[in-house]
Amino acid sequence: MTKRHRGPVRGFTLIELLVVIAIIALLIGILLPSLAEARRSARLTLCGSNERQFVTATAGYASEFKDRAFSFTVTPENANATLQYADLRNYAATSGDDLAAAAAQAIDILRRRTGRDDFPIISAWIPHVLYNHLVLQDYLAQRLPERMVVCPEDYHRIRWQSNPGAFGTAGAMALDPVPSNATDAATGFRWPYSSSYETVPAAYSPDRGPTVTSAGTHRTYYSPAAQNVLGRRRLTDVSFPSNKVHIYDSNARHFGKRWWFYAHAQARSPISFFDSSVRIKTTGAPRSAGDANDGFDPLNPTRAFGLTFTYTPERWEAPLLNGTFVGTDSMTGFYRWTREGLKGVDFDAPEVISR
């Protein structure tokens, strides 16, 4: 039997290993930006899909409810026939106030759609501003919280939705950053059911005069002085549906490494229009061609410039222009308060000005 002798087994040299590692690192460096861009594009597509679900539901709601733009519709007069819970019926019916009735409707929806009966009544609340979407969710018979109303880049709200029972207690701080009142037992419970997407005030209040408008900061609002004016807008009230914003995210999250508040010139995000389209738009500078029109002050409609307010963000919101959360920025309202309201224009045409 002949024996065969093997020669020495040759391994990789250090130089060869380093070359292989360098090639792998180079490939990763090439592929990672592409993967990151693919993820960003996927999240942008999903965000646009969320808004398209909004506009599709808006059309269905309007066709079923005599052309109404979706909003809270309970009043002291119809509360007993509309609300499910006795304490909410009594609160709305005896308040004599449409805003209180709308707040009762919001709590009624939250109780029914979450299966929790422990949500207390919130007084002195304008639910239309951040919770107008609850009406559509009730129309769609959705179980709450529902991911559809949250932008996929809004990772704070996604985390809040993961543990809604913590809100209204000290446990909410485990999901930090959270709104400053998230631990308040009387009001904090609502935050996991909020939405990234807001409805413009003209969609639920008058174009001018007794309307919902800024009280000087981005989180404070004046309610209408008159009764029987909220929740009565119709889609046929819109004069330029392809130019008039309906639903938008108050934070632009999809382009670049940071978020921008919607009223910053750099803000670029998907926006829903009253013609049911969803288009990516940039706010831009006031009075600049191709960017958003300035808007106006509904309480002072003849004023030449748009409504102004201060932006003082918390850490779950977009930072200031300088990238920090300390201080304030002075902002113009733009399409949040369109000149002439539903009869006005936000993009791609000059403002409509009537006297």
Tens digit of pLDDT for each residue in 288-321?
767 999 999 998 998 888 899 999 999 999 999 9
Widest distance between CA atoms in the chain? 112
Asked if residue 1 has pLDDT above 70, the reply is: no
Of the listed ranges 167-171, 188-192, 225-229, 339-343, the least confidently predicted one is 225-229
Find the radius of gyration of the CA atoms of the chain.
25
- Calpha distance 180→226 (Å, rounded): 30
The secondary structure of 155-199 as a DSSP string is HHHHHHHH-GGGTTSGGGGGG-S--TTTT-TTTGGGGGG--SEEE
Helix or strand run (H / E) with residue 331: strand 329-332
How confident is the model at residue 143, as a pLDDT?
96
Asked if residue 236 has pLDDT above 90, the reply is: yes
- Calpha distance 35→28 (Å, rounded): 10
Tens digit of pLDDT for each residue in 131-190?
999 999 999 999 999 999 999 999 999 999 999 999 999 999 999 999 999 999 999 999
Q: Please report which residue ranges of the chain form alpha helices under DSSP H.
A: 14-64, 79-82, 86-95, 98-114, 128-131, 133-139, 155-162
Tokens of 281: 């738009």
**Which residues in 288-307 are b (16+ Cβ under 10 Å) and which e?**
eeebbbbbbbbbebeeeebb
For 105-119, what is the mean pLDDT? 97
How confident is the model at residue 122, as a pLDDT?
96
Tens digit of pLDDT for each residue in 68-110?
999 999 999 999 999 999 999 999 999 988 999 999 999 999 9
Q: How confident is the model at residue 41 (pLDDT cuts 50, 70, 90)?
A: confident
Tokens of 263: 């009223």
pTM for the structure as a whole = 0.89
- Calpha distance 119→104 (Å, rounded): 11
Asked if residue 4 has pLDDT above 70, the reply is: no
How confident is the model at residue 24, as a pLDDT?
82
* Residue carrying structure tokens 């006031």: 286
Identify the CA nearest to 146 among candidates 158, 128, 130, 129: 158
**Close Cβ partners of 330 (under 8 Å, ≥ 6 residues apart):** 308, 309, 310, 311
- Calpha distance 166→37 (Å, rounded): 34
Residue 214 bridge partners (DSSP): 221
